[in-house]
Amino acid sequence: TWTTHNVVDEQVALIKEQVGDKRAICGLSGGVDSAVAAALVARAVGDQLTCVYVDHGLMRKGETEQVEKDFVAATGVKLKVVDAEERFLTALKGVSDPEEKRKIIGREFIRVFEQAQAEIIADEGPAVEFLVQGTLYPDVVESGGGTGTANIKSHHNVGGLPEDLEFQLVEPLRKLFKDEVRMVGQELGLPEEIVQRQPFPGPGLGIRIVGEVTKERLDLLREADAIAREELTAAGLDREIWQCPVVLLADVRSVGVQGDGRTYGHPVVLRPVSSEDAMTADWSRLPYEVLAKISTRITNEVREVNRVVLDVTSKPPGTIEWE
């Protein structure tokens, strides 16, 4: 019979067999898949696993701390955090085009991750042979079912590394659907915020600022987003909503009156959607009281935002994200 307990036991045994006394690396994104995959491997081989978390500075409020503190506390995993905020912000300077942003973030991410990998290999010696990935069953089906190896091109050649390093993949979630992954995460004692996390794009808040991405803009979007999430959670709407991007229209200003004066601030957009698989989506009919609370709090607590607007577009024609 299928129980999360059995899945954990079975996967732990398989991972032990596959990895043996070798070493493994796992990249954490803050999301549920990589967290559960890493937790399973950590349970199986302990500190033969090193996790890498690239902090690109585009995460939401509290998410990096969740990985650094709560995830580590729950799993005892060995974690290397790379603070790369400066690097990402520098690379994104002056860029407004969404696809350009994605390309830059993706490219920098791979560079930083590979650099971290190279450093770990330099520390741990040549026994690092495994790369852990949170591949789910739907990903397996979509990509034709193949399993295999990852080729790491090492253009940073640290400490006499071979030019091309080949990793075996460890993919302990290959048979699982998302809801099952969440249950396994729960069984492994991972923090609720990670286990129940709604989808969040890899490029993070970088694609939720319409306009150039700057530290100031990120900070104010983080505040507005945190308020929206807090109120949606307080209203018990987390399960009902697929995700709720909060988007900063950084290049738009409108006139407002806040406190004792006229302001010329930015609008944020609330984009709550319901969906089964993100391919299509409908805008969520949120209770007016919840919307009112979010709007009042954001405009009171985030000085630069003087207007909150609601996106009532389904997908299609609108995508879930604004960029």
- Residues found near ligand XMP in the complex (CB under 6 A): 102, 199, 201-203, 243, 278, 315, 319-321
CA angle 316, 319, 323 (to 5 degrees): 155
Beta-strand pair 246-249/261-270: antiparallel
* Rounded CA separation 37/179 (Å): 14
Could you tell me the sign of the dihedral formed by the alpha carbons of 294, 300, 301, 303, in that order? positive
256 CB-contact burial (10 Å; exposed 0-12 / middle 13-18 / buried 19+): middle
* Rounded CA separation 72/39 (Å): 9
Pair of tokens at residue 41: 């491997």
CA dihedral 161, 168, 87, 321 (to 10 degrees): 160
Closer CB to ligand XMP, residue 78 or residue 315? 315
- Cβ at position 98, least distance to ligand XMP in Å: 9
Pair of tokens at residue 111: 């560079």
* Rounded CA separation 47/44 (Å): 9
Could you tell me the sign of the dihedral formed by the alpha carbons of 149, 153, 157, 163, in that order? positive
287 CB-contact burial (10 Å; exposed 0-12 / middle 13-18 / buried 19+): exposed
Closer CB to ligand XMP, residue 202 or residue 256? 202
* Rounded CA separation 189/8 (Å): 12
Closer CB to ligand XMP, residue 15 or residue 273? 273
* Rounded CA separation 200/210 (Å): 17
Binding-site sequence positions for ATP: 29-35
Binding-site sequence positions: 29-35
Closer CB to ligand XMP, residue 165 or residue 320? 320
* Rounded CA separation 29/201 (Å): 10
